[in-house]
Amino acid sequence: MKLKYSKYKFEVALDEVGRGCLAGPVVAAAVVLPEDFFNEEINDSKQLSERKRKELDSIIRQNAIDYAIAEVSPQKIDEINILNASFLAMHLAVDKLKVQPEFLLVDGNRFHKYKETPHFCAIKGDAKYMNIAAASILAKNHRDFLMDKFHEEFPDYLWKKNKGYPTIAHRQAIKKYGITYLHRKTFKLLDGQLSLNF
């Protein structure tokens, strides 16, 4: 895994989490790692256990030149659509950085240009670049923490377990209890199979 993509000192890696969820915000993280940083355990957050992600989270925060995390609400997602909300979350994360970004390395295949800052989109970048993997870890941990808190408010939806993703149990809870202010109303909240009469 490469540390970064460009030769710029302040290359900002961007990744988002929660695009495919039925509930909760979409969260993005921006990370700038030092040139001499290396950690062989850092990987795409989806490949790591919760315990390992939490361990690496503190290492990333302690060693990063800079980092920031931003959220976009379900209401805003419904207003501008999930793709635009993902880009917005990334832009908001960059806005919160203390350093002036020189280059943006974005996980995925599409991005809305941020001011005049050059960028590159890396498909499956969280498995290729350490700085994107680090961003994915921070974003995932932050969003999981939020969904665990929301679970306490709405335990029937089992968000502590499914984090708002469209599991069968989550969809069945929506059918039984209806939706909350945290659900994305423009998403297909109920699976067709749940409405069949057996």
Does residue 166 fall inside a structural domain? yes
Q: Considering the entire predicted model, what is its pTM?
A: 0.94
Does residue 24 fall inside a structural domain? yes
pLDDT tens across 125-169, in order? Answer: 999 999 999 999 999 999 999 999 999 999 999 999 999 999 999
Does residue 186 fall inside a structural domain? yes
Contact (CB, 8 A) for 40 and 62: no
Give the CATH number, domain containing residue 73.
3.30.420.10
Residue type, 187: F
Closest CA to 189 of 177, 198, 181, 179: 179
Give the residue numbers spanning the domain of 177: 11-195
The tally of domains found in the chain comes to: 1
| Rg from Cα positions in the chain | 17
pLDDT tens across 49-103, in order? Answer: 999 999 999 999 999 999 999 999 999 999 999 999 999 999 999 999 999 999 9
Tell me the CA distances in angstroms from 175 to 10, 19, 149, 157, 193, one per residue in order.
Answer: 47, 22, 22, 10, 11
Closest CA to 11 of 126, 129, 127, 143: 129
Contact (CB, 8 A) for 16 and 27: yes
Does residue 3 fall inside a structural domain? no
Does residue 49 fall inside a structural domain? yes
> How many CB atoms sit inside 10 A of residue 54's CB?
14
Does residue 1 fall inside a structural domain? no
Does residue 72 fall inside a structural domain? yes
Contact (CB, 8 A) for 87 and 112: yes
pLDDT band at 196 (very low <50, low <70, confident <90, very high): very low
Could you say which DSSP state residue 44 is in?
-
Does residue 2 fall inside a structural domain? no
